[in-house]
Amino acid sequence: MKIFELFDIEPRFVVDAALLKNKWLQLSKQYHPDYLQQATEWEQADALQTLAEINKAYKLLQNKTQLIEYILSEKGIIQAGEKQSIEPQFLASVMDANEQLADAEFEGDTAAQQEIFSELEQTNHELETSMAAIFKKTVASCTQEELLQIKQYLFHKKYLARILERKI
């Protein structure tokens, strides 16, 4: 897991924000061109490329969804462009909520919209709570079954996010 090695931290689905920022600041200082004025032009160019990789990795490590996608991709659990597989019951409930929301938006019923968003946020919270124990583990200590649960979590979160981003 290259980005974790770059920051010299153990692969996890949730990274300690303070530790991450501290590591990022150390690496940024180490590879920043202002601190390498005595280096050769080639060394400075190489450091600048490394700094760009560090910044990209830092952004990824701060974004839970992108981090999960990265880890699952590195573990071979999801493939690029893979179609999301959602269990029918969850899909039906999300589609029903989406339809109700569209009706409420069309009718201008903000109270109904707020109620639907509230229910979806509750579903989102329950999803987070159900995964909390797994997310406390290191990636190496997760079983194949847990990685597959995280994959389902990711797909559920994406479906919910598409609707929740419409919140007024």
- Predicted pLDDT of residue 53: 93
How remote is the C-alpha of 152 from its chain's centroid?
Answer: 13
pLDDT of residue 168: 60
pTM of the full structure: 0.85
Q: Write out the E strands in the chain.
A: none
Residue ranges covered by each domain of the chain: 2-62, 88-164
2-62: CATH topology: Helix Hairpins (1.10.287)
Tens digits of residue pLDDT in 42-81: 887 888 898 999 999 999 999 999 999 999 999 999 987 7
> Could you read off the pLDDT of 79-105 as tens digits, one per residue?
877 777 888 999 999 999 999 999 999
